Chains A and B, each alone.
Chain A
Amino acid sequence: MGTQRIEEHYIVTEPYYRVHGQELTIALAAYEHQIPLLLKGPTGSGKSRFMQYLAWKLGRPLITVSCHDDLSTSDLVGRYLIRGGETVWMDGPLTLAVRHGGICYLDEIVEARKDTTVVIHPLADDRRELPIEKRGEILSAPPEFMLALSYNPGYQSVVKDLKPSTRQRFIALELTYPSPDIEAEIVQHEAGVSKEEAEKLVRLAEMTRSLEDAGLQEGASTRLLIHAGTLIRSGIAPRQACKVTISEPLSDDHELVAAIDEMISSLY
């Protein structure tokens, strides 16, 4: 296990992100005033990409943690390791970001256990400090540090929701799917397909999204469209490409998959 080096977390080349609303202005203002950020939005709508773009724009390192239900406080803050008979302290990703004034991005925060989520509380209000209990140390976050969380409100689960005490510390930005022309532009750029092809994919996505009331949990995300576009560009027949990237991943329900397949074959 090597010590994590902060240099690795800088984003050197500009990531592609198409701003489609006020999200960048608001995020920059939040950064300036040291208010943490909460990104809401359906899966594949560009939350993580937006964070990369923001980090690049601010010139700060971005440390992303994908949350899961086994994530413990030590996983975030850090722990002692034993090396050659001696104990060595190793910073966790959150501590690393605080120490170096980076951006710590906790992706899918609702997947983490509620007791884990609580460690970010002192960081997320005006104290902006991180107590490291095991070392008896309190780290004060420099002005460059930013905390960002993301979650998908679409999973209507009782178990997976943010506590009000957590969510009320954040500026919340909702990143929904962009408008059709912007989404087509994104697909065109990311998948490298023609404008017409991209527009067609977006139309398909809209069709699947209107099935959300009819039993589909979520419609096709921008990410799925990019996958479909990429396959199409690499020479796979469009109907096949859309089947494997869109209808099959979206559902296991035969009727729904068949209905989406029919949409695909109508379009292509």
Chain B
Amino acid sequence: MCDSCGCPSPGTTSYSHDHDGHSHSHSHGHHHNATSGTRTVDVHASLFAANDALAKINRDHFEEMGAVALNLISSPGSGKTTLLEHTIEALKGEIRIGVIEGDIETERDADRIRAKGVPAIQLTTGGACHLDAAMIHRGFHQLQKEAGGDNIDLLFIENVGNLVCPATFDLGEHERVVLVSVPEGPDKPAKYPKAFTSSHTFLITKTDLLPYFDFPVAEATREALQLNHHLKVIDLCATKGGEGFESWLGYLRGLVAAMKAKRR
């Protein structure tokens, strides 16, 4: 059973238990100091471990459904939603897509995605600058309802626009994609290294604006690969198609095919 909502889930681990009438986490030791009357409790509970455990449950959920999940991380305005709109158009009838949108306020992004005819749900954090595994857990259940029993092959999680905190939280995604748009400048990998060291793929977006900005693609690519030479780098313009956008679609098709092969 799933810890947070009671849904059936494999590999669920319980990380709290009741003992002496009170609830607490993990193993621990008690030390009593008879003379001073104080009591010391060793807890040793990792506060990130709770997120990571739930992220693993999410990953199992996605795989049960046969969905490969991508977590999109970038600054606000780099073109995450626009990329998704064009991706949905391009893969219509070929790959079943679902989207979980994260923002501080408004349903706007989910509305834009629904207008493209795919199930989408909006998580509004009300101030928090990132999504965490618990939010995705609830969001995925809502998305399953919205999908009305249809399976999803490819789940996009669009994180809150921020290159800092989202990098710390595993949501249960299979691949993490970091985006930088041409107007933001090429120094983002050097300034926000964790978003790049923790990602699988680096997208340079809005390349149609290259004639108007000083953005040496080769330099940005080199800096990102210096941080993480496993990164796949794709530069593209989502609104005008072209070679880069086709590479992106090829990357997505590859991920979906690999997940299907894994389930056979």
Q: Do A and B bind each other?
A: no
Which residues from chain A sit less than 8 Å from chain B, CB to CB?
none
Residues of B within 8 A of A (CB): none
